[in-house]
Structure 1
Amino acid sequence: MQFQTGLAAAADAVESHFGSVLAGYDALPVVDAMRYAASGGKRLRAYLVMETARLHDVPASSAIWPATAIEAIHAYSLVHDDLPCMDDDDVRRGLPTVHRKWDEATAVLAGDALQTLGFELVSRPECHPDAVVRADLTLSLARAAGAGGMVLGQALDMAAEQADTPLTLDEITRLQAGKTGALIAWSAEAGARLAQADITPFTTYAQAIGLAFQIADDILDVEGDAETVGKAVGKDAGRGKATFVSLLGLDGAKSRASDLVTQACDALSDYGSRAESLRDAARFVISRRN
């Protein structure tokens, strides 16, 4: 219950903050597309920022900036991922994808603008009064989002679709550590970075839930329905794509995800009951239905 309340509060706070930030731009279709792309979703990444900040006694007025930043970066990645040259999806979160509602050029520009907005938000003095902290947040976010993180994972995923042989378990684990895990890891580390504290427990925690999150996605692609999930399902099997389910089997994938959640919870043992909502977040990752 504490986690669900926190998740909803983070979602509301980010939605409001996006509105304030985007209100400063001209009324253009690309800004409308940015607002559309950045709305909705679970806001798990924002929640991780806000909750780890709370754990380190960082005020919400500071944490909202990196929380909104990571959602902007995540939204950009989804807009570009949905494009015909990438995954070619028509539906996202139960609604038409940006390039379907507008056009491909607007989708590309909206994604570009959301990406740069993310870096702007963590660079602003409202995020933290110390420029060293802001620089650390910006550098680490760039690394998480770029060719050593999320973009690397996406590139490996696209290359795998053209390969003659399916990926091995080690290869798909590396792919997903970038594609899904890198931004989740940054989100969970953000509170410690704001407090200039040790990020190690949160890195361990996030690496485990990031991989569990992707395994859960693979399971939903098999067991879920499009209406509940909010996007097309069964696409991986249709493409003959290697997934955790295809490599481990459905039961094996569920068992692996459960083990990862246990690892994530154990990583926070030094924080005792204060981190219980983060443990609930880890459990949520593999119990979600969308």
Structure 2
Amino acid sequence: MAQLSIPLPPDIGEVVALALNEDQGDGDLTAKLIDANATTTAQVTVHDVVTLSGCAWFDEVFRQLDDRVAVQWNFSDGMELTPAQPVCDITGPSRPILTGERTALNFLQTLSGTATAVREHVLAVAATQARILDTRKTIPCLRRAQKYAVLCGGGENHRMGLYDGVLIKENHIVAAGGILAAAGAAREREPATLIEIEVETLDQLREALTADVDRILLDNFSLTSLSAAVAVRDAHDGPRKQLEASGGIGLENIRAIAATGVDFISVGALTKHVRAVDFSMRFL
């Protein structure tokens, strides 16, 4: 199987340990009903059209419970699945497979749900120059996992957190004394970091185009205003600034937004409004 060349997050083991502790606590009372020496083979099946993501988290669940459990995947992250396809087979001691079933499927359905939503948005803007970005509106403690899933779906990551990018928003601008003051302070402190500033009007955009920033976020602009913003940017005599549309964006309007000529479209719903896709595990 072709593998995506996307680095896995470093916190998979830590996140899985938290999830297992949350679920099993002092022990799985029901799994103890099964003979400790019993072994089994189980199969995971998908029941939706899905972009797969989360295999490493699924594997890690069973590795932490009992490293005798083996998972054989028929697909890899980033691949498209259709209903009724067998996704993987699990073999090994019955108790840890039963204990880990729900936690493993939770990771798989959540991350695949994220990747599937991203793929839908990416396909919706196909043949335009717009690229789909995620945001920091993620499930607590699953930031890195969901941002990995975004990449599996063909999207791109915005900053991972507050520590690896500067995004100057409305309140920062007010507190710093204006657009130029905020941008100047940011560049002085972070000369090698991507700096983005949010604007809410075309007048603010014109001012931001004179600032030392890399990208300008157009917050809740209408389609007409987005088109006007692209025209203002293109007519500006200076280094070309990237434009990012954000706010009130969904599948129903994302194509029209992309057609205005913006460079990026950030969609918080990709990771915030996750619809878990349907997987099931059955013993064979």
Task: Say whether the fold is shared (TM-score over 0.5).
Answer: no
The structure whose Rg is larger is: 2
Which structure has greater strand proportion? 2
TM-score band (shorter)?
Answer: under 0.3
